[in-house]
A and B are shown apart, each in its own frame.
Chain A
């Protein structure tokens, strides 16, 4: 009970920090513009003539998140270290896990808000035709989980450094790797020399492979576990890194 109220306090503070600067609004606007532009112009939403959001909308999410999520997560720990408030935070009567989870949740909720604000796309497709809203729903769940996985990685890289830009680049590279190992052109390249077994292992590491199920309307527990385990593992790394700093 006490743990949750501590986490809630941290989450509230972090959410407040996002909205105290125009950065949050800039982020949301950029995200929505990108979604709109790619869905309707590049994704060929109208040309397809089908009432579905899978290809024109959700397909782009792994790529949007590649840039946007690290920019949301980069300040979480790097800024605390730069300003020195980390010393305040960790001498408060809370555990470092409560701080880690609180910060992660704040950013994840922020991303959820950005994602929810794409609702006009759903309204549009419902107005134009009769899509399978269950598929759209699982698509959103998958997208949010994927964003959480990216975010947890950004949290860990943010704890690594006191420079936000370094954190941004590091998490971008890691997330890019997670995308590329399931990106069809890359898979083809690997297939040309590696055994099928190895190809399978590599593609199993990819967010694209696991996001695919959600886009098709399948809530596969393996996919959910994949994203949750990335989140869990990254946050664990986060705590190890923070303990490492304190040990000097």
Chain B
């Protein structure tokens, strides 16, 4: 449904988005991750046709957003960053306007408005002016606007920003449900959200895609992935560490915590030796009292940090030379 090819955008000399390529099919929820200023919002603005790309193409449902914008825009529902809405209108007025401009009239308009009001829990503020809404309600009002025409493609820029934990949960559920029938791109910097909602994730940093895969695949890239955490009672940390470090498949072991007679260690396997590591450790630790033993899945935040920070470190010397 969404096809992005070599998308780039320059503001003056600054390259905000630098050759981004990806595609999203119906039934996929693509999480767009990245530090602030990485080019997430700029990419989304180009995909929705708000700003023209410097180079590259965006196709939505087969229509090029720059040469054939109207049919492409018809397919898209868009929630911009900060969820803007006309402050001088009531929620009902605003949603009716959104429905009308999407070509819905008469009964189908009423039905569409009722549907999103129910989906987004807007009933209590229906006749209130947008100006007086709390942030959560305003956010949901704008979100309701984006799904009012039941679009095939949804582009959501930080859809859970500013919501309380319950509302966040609701919105995530909603996105996941809708993701079964639509192509959805949403940006976030909340990593738990990625696990909860996405079928695929792209990490973008300084305008470039630095990782692309399912959340599970990304976790694999963590150096923690496959490491074993073990807690042992009644033994000295140094002794345990030495013993476990001596196992043939172990690269290194480190003590994370030692207190009250119990010691927690993290043990990393050598390349390709992850399967069976936990068992080897259990065997080596015989005679000690094992309180806890589990294999780490890898952590997204750690992957995220290592990918986006390694890059920054790499460019620093270059800047110094100038």
Contacts and interface: CB of A to CB of B under 8 A. Distances in A.
Nearest to B70: A93
Which residue, A20, A83, A91, A246, has most C-beta atoms of chain B within 10 A? A91
Contacts of B84: 83-85, 87-88
B229 to A, nearest CB: 46
Interface residues of A, number: 24
Contacts, number: 74
Interface residues of B, number: 33
Contact of B80 (A2, A5, A87, A95): A87
Given A83-B84, A85-B84, A91 B76 contact: yes
A6 B85 contact: no
Contact of B52 (A9, A83, A247): A247
Interface in A65-99: 83-85, 87-88, 90-95
B78 interface: yes
Interface in A1-36: 2, 5-6, 9-10, 13, 16-17, 20-21
A87 to B, nearest CB: 4
Nearest to B94: A13
Which residue, A5, A6, A21, A83, has most C-beta atoms of chain B within 10 A? A83
Contacts of B52: 246-247
A185 interface: no
Interface of B: 9, 11, 45, 48-52, 69-71, 73-74, 76, 78, 80, 82, 84-89, 93, 97-98, 100-103, 129, 142, 145
Interface of A: 2, 5-6, 9-10, 13, 16-17, 20-21, 83-85, 87-88, 90-95, 246-248
20 contacts: A9-B100, A10-B101, A17-B89, A20-B89, A20-B129, A83-B84, A87-B45, A87-B84, A88-B80, A91-B78, A91-B80, A92-B73, A92-B98, A92-B101, A93-B71, A93-B74, A93-B102, A93-B103, A246-B50, A247-B51
